[in-house]
Amino acid sequence: MDPVLCQYSHVCSGCDAILSSYETQKNQKIATLRNLLTSHTLPEIQFQSFGTHGLRSRLDFVFDNHNFGLYSHITRKIEDLPICLQLSDSLQLALNQFRNLKPPISKGSFRIRVSPQEEIGFWLDFSNENIKDLLQSRDYLLALQEIGHVEMGQRHKALYQKPSGELGIGQPQFHHWSETVFEHKKIPLLSTVASFTQPSHISNAWITEKIENWCETLKPQNILEFGSGIGNLTFPALAYKNSKLTALEFDGLSFQALTKNVESLGLGQRIDLRRGDYRKSTDLKLSDYDLLLLNPARNGVGELLKSDVTSDSIIYMSCYPETLALDTQHLNNLGYSLQELIIVDQFPQTTHMEVLSLFTLCKS
């Protein structure tokens, strides 16, 4: 594949592998994963690519002193990035519009996302003081609202206009910012702009279809899912028509979105929703489940696998292979072996990787 010619490649900290060819990046990711899992018998490590750039459907940038971008690893200041080759075309257009408006503040983080239907969402993770000033001065937020949905602060509060014309922020609003699959059809997922989603609609379509295909083959009766988020893997996991699923999620706003998504699909009879910190020891009886579907944050599943794990299969998706390696060691000791191991390259030009793995219990 042709190298990606990014004019910021020597300064921007966003793409820490961009100075290597894509082939070298691929080989390095495979070697890193193999080294982390060195003591295990591994299947062939597959590498699923979606191209070298243009994948991202959401971005997280910082605004600092009129620069919109990411830290420069040379100056340690924010490098202005008018163009980022990692963005999808529609996300780049949304960034252009955001930049034109120039926020009247000196510093803050922001997220922009574009839905599969090309709606635009902005999350301004600014200080409370800045939010208050922007609400009072109105013009900037009114102009931004003309372009897309606006959310502010850590509690994802939605911007609205009072009948008096004043601006306020209130309850989070849930829109269809991403999609997954259920019964081989694409379905929209409700969330806030600031909720966690996978970074790209393109790679996520591949991931969710893979989960659906695995679950169709495995035919689990009872699934336990750790880290359900807004339900991205939950619905494809129900591919086998008789299966039931217990969904574990810690984050309050993701859990609210998950609840709404389950309701809107009418799947309340098949999905048991539980909110809590399931990295700590729990009263869940893991031996009741014949499939575990694990998609933790970087810190892994904690104590969850320390209980009585007897499921036939485990699907483990991880954006942090170091914790996947630790849990693989533990699962090996319990008699599980890796059947499939796939690097899903949804972070090209970086050293980050998403790993999708399937373990089965060796019954001897």
Ligand X SMILES: C[S@@+](CC[C@H](N)C(=O)[O-])C[C@H]1O[C@@H](n2cnc3c(N)ncnc32)[C@H](O)[C@@H]1O
230 and 254 Cβ atoms separated by less than 8 Å = yes
Specify the residue, 120 or 233, whose C-beta has the smaller distance to ligand X.
Answer: 233
* 227 lies in the site for ligand X, by CB under 6 A: yes
Binds ligand X by CB under 6 A, chosen from 158, 279, 341, 358: 279
Which residue out of 6, 15, 319, 362 is catalytically annotated? 319
CA 322, chain centre distance (Å)? 18
Stretch that binds ligand X, among 13-21, 33-41, 107-115, 272-280 (CB under 6 A): 272-280
Binds ligand X by CB under 6 A, chosen from 278, 336, 347, 359: 278
**Residue with the two structure tokens 């990787």:** 353
CA distances to 103, 105, 203, 292 from 108, rounded to whole Å, are: 10, 8, 29, 39
Binds ligand X by CB under 6 A, chosen from 101, 147, 205, 297: 297
**Residue with the two structure tokens 């109105």:** 138
**Could you tell me how many residues of this chain bind ligand X (CB under 6 A)?**
19
Stretch that binds ligand X, among 91-99, 212-220, 277-285, 345-353 (CB under 6 A): 277-285
In angstroms, the CA 267 to CA 45 distance is 35
Binds ligand X by CB under 6 A, chosen from 151, 249, 327, 354: 249
* 200 lies in the site for ligand X, by CB under 6 A: no
Q: Is 319 a catalytic residue?
A: yes
Binds ligand X by CB under 6 A, chosen from 87, 190, 218, 248: 248
* 229 lies in the site for ligand X, by CB under 6 A: yes
Residue 279 in tokens: 């990295």
Specify the residue, 70 or 248, whose C-beta has the smaller distance to ligand X.
Answer: 248
Distance between the two ends of the chain, CA-based, in angstroms?
45
* 2 lies in the site for ligand X, by CB under 6 A: no
Q: Cβ of residue 233: shortest distance to ligand X, in angstroms?
A: 5
* 232 lies in the site for ligand X, by CB under 6 A: yes
* 295 lies in the site for ligand X, by CB under 6 A: yes
In angstroms, the CA 244 to CA 139 distance is 50
Q: Cβ of residue 71: shortest distance to ligand X, in angstroms?
A: 23
In angstroms, the CA 256 to CA 18 distance is 38
**Strand, coil or helix: what is 257?**
helix
For residue 58, is it left (φ>0), alpha (ψ between -120 and 50) or beta? beta
For residue 247, is it left (φ>0), alpha (ψ between -120 and 50) or beta? beta
268 and 245 Cβ atoms separated by less than 8 Å = no
Residues with a known catalytic role: 319
Given the rule CB under 6 A, which residues bind ligand X? 196-198, 227-229, 232-233, 248-251, 254, 277-279, 295-297
